[in-house]
Amino acid sequence: MTKITHDFYQTKSKITFSRMVSLFLLLFIGTQLSWGQQVIDFGGYQLPAPYTNVYVDDAALQLALFGTATVVVAPTSTFPPNPFTIGPAPYNLTYTANGTTDARLYRSNPNLSGYSNLTNVVQNPSLTDYDAVGTSSTAKNGRIQPNGSTSNGTNRFWSLNIPAGETVTFIIMSDGAAPTISLSVDGAAATTDTPVNFKSLVPTAYKITNATGTSHAYKFYSPNGKMSLFRVYFGDVSGVISPFWYNGQWENGAPTATKEAFIGVGSSTAPVNPVPIFSTATNGTFTAKKLTVNIGNTLTVNSGTNVTVQNEVINVGTGTTVVENNANLIQVNNTTNTGNIVVNRNSNPLSRLDYTMWASPVASQKLSTFSPMTSQSPSRFYTYDSAANLYSAVASPTTTNFAAGTGYLIRMPNTAAVSPAIETFTGVFTGVPNNGNVSLTGLTSSLYYSVGNPYPSALSATAFLSGNPSANGTLYFWRKTNNPANSSYATWTTAGGVANSGGGSAIVPNGTIQVGQGFIINTGTATALNFTNAMREVSPTSTQFLKTKQVTAKNRVWLNLTNTEGVFSQALVGYMEDATQGVDTGIDGKYINDSKVALTSNINNEEYTIQGRALPFDPSDVVALNFKTDVAGDYSIAIDHTDGLFATGQDVYLTDSTTGTQTNLKLDSYTFTAPEGSSNARFSLSYQKTLKVNAPSFNENSVTVYKNNGTLYVNSGSVAIANIKVYDIQGKLMAEQKNVKANTATIKDFKATQQVLIVKITSQDNTVVSKKVVN
């Protein structure tokens, strides 16, 4: 027979685990309640392996404590009418359990008549592992109270026999300046003791590990804390016991892909978590079978970190999950989430009139709430009208939610910095996190659509294209800074990414579609586009949308076309597996044709921003380039960067058939003068120096003449000019320049008012070329 003296509780006499002594201790602290059947609250224990005999009758607490473990309901207990007997003086009060099947903790309701002189209770000298004894107790007003003649009581002692190496945990909670102990009974309002004299236990989880296995007596006090316990019985538990985050540490071990994780304790009568914030930057990342953030607790997934959950994410009541910029909340299986999370995402540094293409990682996010300072009248929120091939303003941003998987073009807030100043906008998404399959159906083939990453984690562009094989394999990412000469889009295929601007504002897609990122894709032959969890990836290091990412598995060269007025165009030629000299979907990226100046490459007489070519690399290969401009002038072509064999010594030559020159771009850039218009025959890329380049020509195609801001510019390629004469339409000589002896010349302060001028250029060998110029 296992016994317990006076004010304490008896477990079933057949108990198969030892560290449940911690449960007893917590049940004994602050027990000044009226006698009668009681349900005791308890929190913060550690269940020691291999013992699994704990039963919790509250469903929410079963979930919080044990997750997917199976809880076996313990049998009921029966009590004799008077379970107490009087022993010899000094009157030890003893309760006997009803055999080996009793599995619950009760406060019985005995008849205390005749027991008013129960004083000077002594400690049982032969305590077992599961016994606890209080000393110096009296019975007063139907209550047994430790050591005191008043209802408050002081100096409460417990003697525990803790086996060697085992640990008991005590939870002390703080709820204000006054030190209190609170015990909740059957979910009713807590009964609170006034200050008691416990010994030196700070308001936090506190553990005692016994190294010797001998019996020890402990005395506790709460200097400024409140003790709140949750409802516990004894019984059988099988399965996996779930970890929960409490007071700055994981109880029951850290979560894994097969164990559910709880941030805080899931009950309104449970103790308030003294440390209610879990930060991955401070406390580490984790993987869990399922994630629950309970009332009053916060999980913050910090920038550069990830949390992976196999199944659903649940935020209970005021429980909050925050996914910071450049962080990832990844889910594996197609489960339904519950409760809102917050996802923060920074734009690139932009000015007031610039735009970002956004997509929401959560459900039910209003456009206007997301960017409340963006103009709504007129609306500066746009969707892409695929049939009309243009952006269409959203009529009512205040009533329109982000649709999952859809991209929206949104202007910077009206309060943003005015160009040329720039600043970052932090977009805040609030809602239930999207998870599982997201499909855009009813689409029309061969049209462009604005879509976007629907998840609070990064998306693999390669996996997205693999999952949508019928779509055109080129992704276009908006990045516009109000320069009509340059493309609005950075371009990506599996061959690599191409920027749409130079300098510090350059964005090069790297194959990772960040949280909140929208983009454009042509459906090809597809009529639906699909996003799945399998496309999600861990990529927390990007500090902005589309940050450059070094890739060395391919052999690539990026060419930049620029001028002094800020014009920029970039083209990529790469040699890689699975590429051919023809059109390869997913590798070759077609030029979207939205800029006035462009450098592209030619495949089957069509322009491509990105071109993949076959391996093995052939140094005799020649790639035709296209060039167009709407403004005549001087331009430069140079290498931006290279990788693979081009980064280890392979030369890259640019041939200008108009001037008959060949330039090794690995050594220097090439500057040329071009008239307004386009040419698909002037430039080519090669990798061997040509032994003989065609002699430079001097004709209408090789000579460029244009007028800009009152100055007339003449460029004859590589042929020296002897003199220049300018006539009006009636043949009157307007200007002349002699003895030029160079291939370029300018005539400044040209005041001619005629609409058409005739410019005659004579070379050193007396060849004459006439060009018309519109004034």
Domains and CATH numbers, the chain: 244-339 (no CATH), 343-535 (no CATH), 571-686 (2.60.40), 704-774 (2.60.40.3080)
Read off the pLDDT of residues 345-382 as tens digits, 9 standing for 90 and up. 999 999 999 999 999 999 999 999 999 999 999 999 99
pLDDT, position 484: 65
Give the count of beta carbons closer than 10 Å to the beta carbon of residue 605: 8
Least confident of 198-207, 273-282, 616-625, 681-690: 198-207
Angstrom distance (rounded) from CA 299 to CA 287: 13
Least confident of 52-56, 410-414, 562-566, 579-583: 52-56
pLDDT band at 463 (very low <50, low <70, confident <90, very high): very high
Q: Distance between alpha carbon 468 and the CA centroid of its chain, in Å?
A: 23
pLDDT band at 42 (very low <50, low <70, confident <90, very high): very low
Read off the pLDDT of residues 527-562 as tens digits, 9 standing for 90 and up. 999 999 999 997 544 444 443 334 446 999 999 999
Token readout for 672 is: 């040329």
Provide the whole-model pTM: 0.68
Angstrom distance (rounded) from CA 688 to CA 24: 85
Give the count of beta carbons closer than 10 Å to the beta carbon of residue 76: 11
Angstrom distance (rounded) from CA 450 to CA 671: 37
Contacts of 559 (CB under 8 A, 6+ apart): 570, 571, 572, 573, 599, 637, 638, 639, 640, 665, 685
DSSP H or E segment with residue 569: strand 568-575
Q: Is 659 strand, coil or helix?
A: coil
Res 739 pLDDT > 50: yes
Read off the pLDDT of residues 495-539 as tens digits, 9 standing for 90 and up. 999 998 765 556 789 999 999 999 999 999 999 999 999 999 975
Strands, E assignment, 486-532: 489-493, 496-498, 512-513, 518-522, 529-531
pLDDT, position 695: 62
pLDDT, position 617: 95
Angstrom distance (rounded) from CA 764 to CA 524: 55
Res 224 pLDDT > 60: no
Token readout for 268 is: 């309104």
Token readout for 709 is: 């801001």
Q: Is 461 strand, coil or helix?
A: helix
Give the count of beta carbons closer than 10 Å to the beta carbon of residue 183: 22
Phi, psi of 745 (to 5 degrees): -155, 155
Angstrom distance (rounded) from CA 309 to CA 257: 7
pLDDT, position 57: 46
Read off the pLDDT of residues 469-504 as tens digits, 9 standing for 90 and up. 999 999 999 876 656 667 889 999 999 999 987 655
